[in-house]
């Protein structure tokens, strides 16, 4: 930009020289000042300064005036300067004109109902600014802000304050705000109607309208109105204010309204973001309600947490770690999707069991005939007149056949589709779990002590549940004791009133003090290949049967010590 010294002689420059402060230059943006020229303050014919909310205009001679600062004003002033263009005398005319009109302007606006006796125009303007700031800062919703806007001095005789909001990508636009100063409005209009309205308002030079101009659009009142368009990345909106009468609005009211909307723009942005995110959260809640996995979601902005029904019924007692963050206009903590897969395992566990049950049933039938053939023939050959070595082999074959039959029988029992409860001897329960876990606990000795009142007791429980719990505990203990000499798992079966207690302890390394509290938490594991679900599922199964699974302090002794309690009906 070129600064030219201020000529003091009569051969004045063709065009006015101006000084504009940084703040004004910033507000002007791309606006072309040509043919006006900028100059340092002391050399300029006019200096324009933005002080707080007022525009100050001064001349080197020391004359000055001020009026409310709003963008429209400064543009109009600059346009006037451009058209005058030369001569000191003429520029004085401009100055006089502005001094006069700015005073008239304020007087006119503020006398239109909002003026309080004894207050100067400047005070009133300050009050408007203050009020708008208060309105916008206090408001927590768009509707609330629009209602409060009607308390702003120059809008105090207005009846309605509305916005028509169109979020990008939506098929409808929302009409939000207040009618007749108290009636809440919240309705929808078609997006094509919104576009008609928006474009008409945007193109209009004078932003004063009449509902008659838009006969096809459902504007919820009749009469003239002020309107301004606001556009942002996420939405476009029309701000509307009306006295609900048929009189046109003055230029000054138009300007003031524009200024208000300018001032409110960042708050529109904030409140719309907020409401948009609230809406998204409520939609998300609807989706998650029926999500087929236990799930808890936490909104880290408001701190509220949401859990779906599955979570509520199955996992509420547990503490879940959130380690997946989704950032957006609102932020959510979710489970890691890997962990969700573990939950899927939990949920589809029984589906898989029933499939496995069917397969095992088929397998049992298919294997039973050839095994029976083997058994019969080996039995026959032991009674034939052959040498002792062959007989021993035949006996061994028969034993192995028997073992195969037991194993497959146990497996198909374990994975029976129905979980129905039948009376089962406790001995059988524990023996079956031991047989099933044989490959994992081969080197571990097992001792089982029954009290006299439990020795021959039968329980009416789902076999599969109990066997699975004991199986899990044996496998855990065996894995913990891998490589330890003389490892033992001891079972103690006792009865306390209507409760059967199966205590399972080992002489392995035990569970470290600070890990005890996490034992029954999902995904807690000390194994490299563990899912961290074994004990969780086991406890859930115990609870389902009306029992429990607890970890007992080992009284300072080594090893881990669990107690499974089951109801005796």
Partner 1 sequence: MKKIFIIEDEVLIQQSLKKLFERRGFSVDVSASGKTAIDMIMTNDYDRIICDLMLQDISGFDVIEESKKKYSPSDISEKFVIMTAYNSPQVLSRANAYQCRLLNKPFDNIEEALSLMTES
Residues in the chain: 569
Contact residue for partner 1 among 43, 208, 250, 368 (CB under 8 A) = 368
Does 374 engage in binding with partner 1 (CB under 8 A)?
yes
What is the chain's Cα-based Rg? Answer: 43
Site for partner 1 in 168-187 (CB under 8 A): none
Does 554 engage in binding with partner 1 (CB under 8 A)?
no
Q: How far is the CB of 366 from partner 1 (least distance, A)?
A: 9
54 three-class SS: strand
Q: How far is the CB of 455 from partner 1 (least distance, A)?
A: 26
Buried b (16+ CB within 10 A) or exposed e, 452-461: eebeebebeb
Contact residue for partner 1 among 372, 516, 544, 552 (CB under 8 A) = 372
- C-alpha 495/C-alpha 1 separation (Å) is 97
Q: How far is the CB of 459 from partner 1 (least distance, A)?
A: 26
Contact residue for partner 1 among 35, 113, 370, 546 (CB under 8 A) = 370
Q: Which stretch binds partner 1 (CB under 8 A): 156-164, 220-228, 365-373, 390-398?
A: 365-373
Site for partner 1 in 401-460 (CB under 8 A): 405
Of the candidates 413, 424, 431, the residue with the CA atom closest to the CA atom of residue 568: 424
Does 376 engage in binding with partner 1 (CB under 8 A)?
yes
- C-alpha 356/C-alpha 555 separation (Å) is 41
Q: Which stretch binds partner 1 (CB under 8 A): 253-261, 363-371, 443-451, 469-477?
A: 363-371
- As beta bridge partners, residue 305 has 298
Does 377 engage in binding with partner 1 (CB under 8 A)?
yes
Work out the burial of residue 145: count CB atoms within 10 Å of its CB; fewer than 13 is exposed, 13-18 middle, 19 or more buried.
buried
Q: How far is the CB of 410 from partner 1 (least distance, A)?
A: 16
Q: Write phi, then psi, for 105 (nearest 5 degrees).
A: -55, -55
Cis peptide before 35 (omega within 30 of 0): yes
Site for partner 1 in 187-246 (CB under 8 A): none
Based on CB atoms, which residue is closest to partner 1, 369 or 555? Answer: 369
Virtual torsion, Cα 90, 92, 96, 97, nearest 10 deg: 30
Based on CB atoms, which residue is closest to partner 1, 409 or 550? Answer: 409
Site for partner 1 in 60-79 (CB under 8 A): none
Residue 568, H or E segment = none
- C-alpha 147/C-alpha 548 separation (Å) is 58
Give the Cβ contact number of residue 15 at 10 Å.
Answer: 18
Q: How far is the CB of 408 from partner 1 (least distance, A)?
A: 12
Based on CB atoms, which residue is closest to partner 1, 35 or 373? Answer: 373
Based on CB atoms, which residue is closest to partner 1, 64 or 377? Answer: 377
Q: Which stretch binds partner 1 (CB under 8 A): 32-40, 147-155, 319-327, 371-379?
A: 371-379
- C-alpha 25/C-alpha 17 separation (Å) is 15
- C-alpha 36/C-alpha 554 separation (Å) is 92
Q: How far is the CB of 357 from partner 1 (least distance, A)?
A: 16
Q: How many residues bind partner 1 (CB under 8 A)?
A: 14
Q: Which stretch binds partner 1 (CB under 8 A): 12-20, 228-236, 262-270, 374-382?
A: 374-382
Q: Which stretch binds partner 1 (CB under 8 A): 52-60, 106-114, 366-374, 495-503?
A: 366-374
- C-alpha 229/C-alpha 135 separation (Å) is 20
Q: How far is the CB of 375 from partner 1 (least distance, A)?
A: 6
Contact residue for partner 1 among 196, 334, 371, 435 (CB under 8 A) = 371
Whether residue 341 contacts residue 544, with contact meaning beta carbons closer than 8 Å, is answered with no
Of the candidates 261, 36, 8, the residue with the CA atom closest to the CA atom of residue 48: 36
Q: Interface with partner 1 by CB under 8 A: which residues?
A: 365, 368-377, 379-380, 405
């Amino acid at each position: 930009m070129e600064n030219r010294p201020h000529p003091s002689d009569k051969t004045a420059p063709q065009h006015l020289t101006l000084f504009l402060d940084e703040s004004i230059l910033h507000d002007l943006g791309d606006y072309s000042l040509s043919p006006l020229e900028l100059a340092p303050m002391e050399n300029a014919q006019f200096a324009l300064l933005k002080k707080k909310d007022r525009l100050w205009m001064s001349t080197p001679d020391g004359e000055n005036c001020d009026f409310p600062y709003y963008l429209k004003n400064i543009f109009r002033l600059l346009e006037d300067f451009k058209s005058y263009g030369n001569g000191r005398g003429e520029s004085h005319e401009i100055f006089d004109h502005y001094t006069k009109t700015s005073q008239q302007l304020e007087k006119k606006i503020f006398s239109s109902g909002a003026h309080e006796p004894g207050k100067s125009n400047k005070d009133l303007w300050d009050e408007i600014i203050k009020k708008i700031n208060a309105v916008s800062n206090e408001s927590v919703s768009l509707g609330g802000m629009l209602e409060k806007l009607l308390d702003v001095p120059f809008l105090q005789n207005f009846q309605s304050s509305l916005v028509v909001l169109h979020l990008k990508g939506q098929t409808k636009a929302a009409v939000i705000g207040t009618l007749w100063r108290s009636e809440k409005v919240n309705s929808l209009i078609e997006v094509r109607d919104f576009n008609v309205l928006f474009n008409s308002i945007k193109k209009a030079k004078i932003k004063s309208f009449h509902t008659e101009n838009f006969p096809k659009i459902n504007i919820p009142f009749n009469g003239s109105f002020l309107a301004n368009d606001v556009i942002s990345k996420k939405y476009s909106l029309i701000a509307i204010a009306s006295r609900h009468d048929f009189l046109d609005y003055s230029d000054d009211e138009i300007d003031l309204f524009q200024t208000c909307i300018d001032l409110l723009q960042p708050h529109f942005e904030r409140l719309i973001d907020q409401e948009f995110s609230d809406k998204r959260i409520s939609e998300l809640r609807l989706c998650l309600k029926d999500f087929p996995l236990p799930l808890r979601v936490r909104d880290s902005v408001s701190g509220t947490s949401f859990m779906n029904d599955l979570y509520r019924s199955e996992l509420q007692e547990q503490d879940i770690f959130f380690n997946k963050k989704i950032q957006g206009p609102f932020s959510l903590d979710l489970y890691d999707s890997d962990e969700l897969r573990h939950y899927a395992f939990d949920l589809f566990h029984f589906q898989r069991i029933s499939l496995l049950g069917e397969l095992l049933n088929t397998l049992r039938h298919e294997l039973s005939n050839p095994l029976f053939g083997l058994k019969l023939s080996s039995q026959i050959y032991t009674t034939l007149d052959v040498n002792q070595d062959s007989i021993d082999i035949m006996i061994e074959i028969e034993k192995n056949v028997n073992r195969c039959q037991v194993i497959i029988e146990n497996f198909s029992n374990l994975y029976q589709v129905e979980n129905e409860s039948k009376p089962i001897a406790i001995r059988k329960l524990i023996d079956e779990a031991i047989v099933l876990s044989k490959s994992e606990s081969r080197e571990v000795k097992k001792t089982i002590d029954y009290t006299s009142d439990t020795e021959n007791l039968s329980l009416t429980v789902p076999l599969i549940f109990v066997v699975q719990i004991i199986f899990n505990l044996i496998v855990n203990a065996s894995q913990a004791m891998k490589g330890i000499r003389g490892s033992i798992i001891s079972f103690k079966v006792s009865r306390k009133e209507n409760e059967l207690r199966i205590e399972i302890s080992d002489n392995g390394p035990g569970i470290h003090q600070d890990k005890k509290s996490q034992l029954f938490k999902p995904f807690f594991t000390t194994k490299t290949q563990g899912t961290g679900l074994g004990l969780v599922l086991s406890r859930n199964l115990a609870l389902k049967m009306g029992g429990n699974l607890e970890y007992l302090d080992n009284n300072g002794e080594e090893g881990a010590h669990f107690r499974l309690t089951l109801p005796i009906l």
